């Protein structure tokens, strides 16, 4: 657990008891699958860098994938940017090391509030 007591490394909890301790709903992991239109099937993405893409997902936003090479100063390689659950659960998930970091503010788990309206991702233009 990081000093702000919100982000959890579930890899350090082999018993799974951390889920029973009453923490607020927070995102701690993602599974990524790639759709293959030729076979109409999906396969698990194991590459820790997500093939050079960064993913943006949200509760009220559509999912978007951006090539990191086009925005190296803005987005992190192999990261999933997310906002869910009314805006209190916002962060950047590193697919390589399976860790969540805050996206835009230091979090205090005791003072979490829903954000209304919920956050949305805006895609930058390549001016």
Kindly report the pTM of this predicted structure.
0.69
User: How many Cβ atoms are within 10 Å of 34's Cβ, its own excluded?
Assistant: 12
- Structure tokens given for 112: 């979490």
- Structure tokens given for 48: 């820790």
The strand pair at 79-84 and 89-94 is best described as antiparallel
The residue with tokens 């702000």 is: 4
Position 113 confidence tier, pLDDT thresholds 50, 70, 90: low
* Ranges of each domain in the chain: 10-14+24-111
Rounded to an integer, what distance in angstroms lies between the CA atom of residue 88 and that of residue 83?
Answer: 8
Q: What pLDDT, on the 0 to 100 scale, is given for residue 74?
A: 83
pLDDT in tens, 73-104: 888 899 999 887 666 678 899 998 888 887 76
């Amino acid at each position: 657990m990081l000093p702000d007591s919100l982000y959890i490394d579930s890899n350090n909890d082999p018993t799974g008891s951390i889920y029973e301790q009453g923490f607020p709903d927070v995102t701690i992991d993602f599974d990524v699958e790639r759709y293959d239109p030729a076979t109409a099937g999906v396969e698990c993405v194991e590459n820790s860098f997500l093939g050079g893409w960064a993913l943006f997902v949200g509760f009220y936003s559509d999912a978007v994938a951006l090539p990191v090479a086009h925005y190296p100063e803005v987005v992190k390689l192999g990261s999933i940017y997310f906002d869910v659950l009314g805006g209190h659960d916002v962060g950047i998930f590193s697919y390589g090391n399976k860790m969540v970091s805050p996206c835009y503010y230091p979090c205090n788990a005791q003072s979490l509030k829903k954000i209304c309206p919920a956050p949305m991702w805006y895609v930058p233009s390549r001016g």
